[in-house]
Structure 1
Amino acid sequence: MSLTRTLILLVASIVMLIASAAATWSYIESNHELEELFDAELAQSTRVVQGLVQHLATTQSSEALAGILRETLQLPDGALEEGDYDEILPDGTGHKYEKKLAFEVWTAKGTPVLDTLSANDDQALTPGYAWSEATGFQWRTFTLQDPKTGYWIRTAQREEIRQELSQELALSNILPLLVALPLLVIAVAFAIQVGFRPLRKLEQPIRHMDPESIHPLDTQHAPKEVTGLVGAVNGLLKRLDDALERERRFSADAAHELRTPLTALRLNLEIIDDKYPGEFSELTASVDRMVHLVEQMLLLSRVDSGAGFNPGDHNLSDIVTQSIADVSPLALQKQIEPSLDDQTGHATIRCQAALINTLMRSVLANAIQYSPAGTCVDTRLQRLENGYRILVCDQGPGIPEASRDKALGRFSRLDQRLGSGAGLGLAIARRIAELHGGALDLLDRQDGQPGLCVSIWLPPHPPTA
């Protein structure tokens, strides 16, 4: 799992956990505060009725007091029936929650004056808050006794309406948090992605760094937290570049130093061969293979270093045609017929013609070397949307797919019984293709016949340094 994904999941989980705890705490606290607010309103309603009772008790008779209270506080029969209406009733005659409120009034001796609750009035009247059951519902009540008149007054509120209102208000308090939570998680993920952007910028040079052009990473724009790591990587790259340079220098020097004694040995063998014809033919062939190996090592060293790589505009068709002509003597020795199918007509690319010619001769020579006598080596030049493709197919034994990466390696010969090379031809060809920004791959023949196809892709322009 990537560090970015780990941080996003970790931070998002922490944010969601904290937000959930905050939402739960807010919901509980909101419910508690709203319950206290409802209790305060219940007490206030009771004191309003108390004031009304005080006024009527001093100005009206007991019968008139009861009548006025019923007219004022008791709803008429059939009023506010449950139905499909809004909270405010038609014509503004009331509110549907009025049915959830009830009032009771008793005289100082406990005689009922008003009872809209229809609760059990046999219980002792005590001041304060309590819970009561009536009409199949739980009611929250507040009772007090008027000190001037002695009347007992109680206001009741149905539990379900209290819960409904408190839950709606509590949810409305945490709703913005619930809505903002997904946005917060997205913002956290975006912030982490942006924060890791400098690391991704450091990754790109390493990902596309070529072994032949190793360079240190830019430490000026590296995040402070990874400056030490970048410095360590730069040290490693410097040591690796030095080691590769020593290896390239050794290969070039060794090949160069071997060229002179091998040439002298070859000349001496020619002199001896004139005196004793045919007796030293195997030794001469071995020296020729050594000379060829030295030449390939020198060529590989130059290609690896990229020294003298000065591409220009050249006709790829002409280069391929010339390469086939160069290997024709080798093909004639094995009675192999090379062919060219040029589907481009005039393929102009920016390249170094000598290197592309070397690439083609290496691939064609390899195909001829491993093809049976009397067969064909077919070359096809195609135009693609992003460049050109050269396909060289032989009718030899082929290479199993599992061994193809190894076959493209240096000094690799899968079957020592076939051919006499040193295993550098395909490695040199692939390196030349990569130097031009292209690629070399080994494929099966598409016509079902035995053999191997070497696919070379070259862009119209090589990448700039």
Structure 2
Amino acid sequence: MTSLRARLFAILLAATGVVWLSAVLWIQHSTRQEVGQVLDRRLQEAAQMVASLIARNGGMVGLDTAGFVHAPALPGGGTHDFARQLICQVWGFDGRLKSESDGAPAGQLADGPAGFSERAVDGVVWRVYSHVDADLGIRVMVGDARKVRDGLVGGVILGLLAPALLILPLLAGAIWLAVGRGLAPLDRFAAGLAARPATDLRPLDTGHAARELRPMIAALNGLFRRVDTLRERERNFTAFAAHELKTPLAGVKTQAQIAAMAPDAATRAHALAQIAAGVDRTDRMVRQLLDMTAAENAIDAAGGPAQDGARILSDVAEGLGPLATARGVRLDLRADPGDWRTAQAALLAPALRNLLENAIHASPPGGTVQAVLHRDGGRVTFRILDRGPGIAPADRPHVTERFYRGAASKPGGGSGLGLAIAAAAMQRMGGELRLSPRDGGGEQAELVLPAA
């Protein structure tokens, strides 16, 4: 059930129905008990009244002197179902019928001791009260049919429930209207949100909101804050990227003009070398921007087949071989093939490439950059080590921020995105980027990932 209104209506109607049914059962039980007690009391009083009348008249007249006494029933002028249903028999201790009311069955109503009993006579079940008078030597039996009692109880219950059943549709309508009125603040809230422009990320007012809506409003305000922060980051990202791309492109343009107007071959060669350096820097910047976008956005990087971690590291190092050769840096790889595989190579490879590239740029000529893959139980670690100047203590808390350059950064060097890309990739992969000074000088960068 997708409608909240219909869901609430169904729940309330079901709860009302359960209460209604419980009330019906309770009314039926209590009515049956109360009516039964009233009718039993009537039988008891009627038997005692007959016995007292007989005693006041000097006892029963024997059949041998006055004939059998047959008491007529009340005139049947009424049309109700209870006419001619209360019957009476008077039996002597000698087992002879002394008197009976009109409509009484031929058989004896009860044959047990004094008190209440039930007995089927001539196919009819009778509820009988027997009153024994030892002085008169008689047993007075007054009874009524069980079906009369059941009919009376049913009539009473029907009389009570019929109005209630007629009210039930009205109650359902009232519940529907009440649910609608109760959800009206939610409808107004939704209408207010729909009327908001997409650029309006101001927090929603909770002062006049219903208490039940405040948790949702608080969650939406939190979402607005996160979206606003993300938009601000994207604006800053765009501004920084435009600035970083503008600088090398302007340099390339300037060097191209110098090369075009160069008075000699040496000047022209220097200008062309600067153009090549500017193109390389721009290429690296564009690639890092793409890597950052892939690492931070919700792109499914686990859709491909699982790849060997050692092979990923080897391919990244092979791609950086020309850069390492140009800077006179040796790459030392230590990874066992088949030790660990991952389906997130699209995230892992950029992180490794940026760490290795940073290490190559930081290493002095003739230095060595080590790349180690180590698996320890449920954890896999890629460790990149260099002998460069390392990260200054003041810069360490900020080096994973986008476009952040430390105090030791060289002019025209990196863009400040490499460590930010590695940190974002690890966050997506459920891992962690760890940076620490290396013993003996340099920096140690670790990508720690779950082995599963």
TM tier relative to shorter chain: 0.3 to 0.5
TM-score by length of 2: 0.46
TM-score by length of 1: 0.45
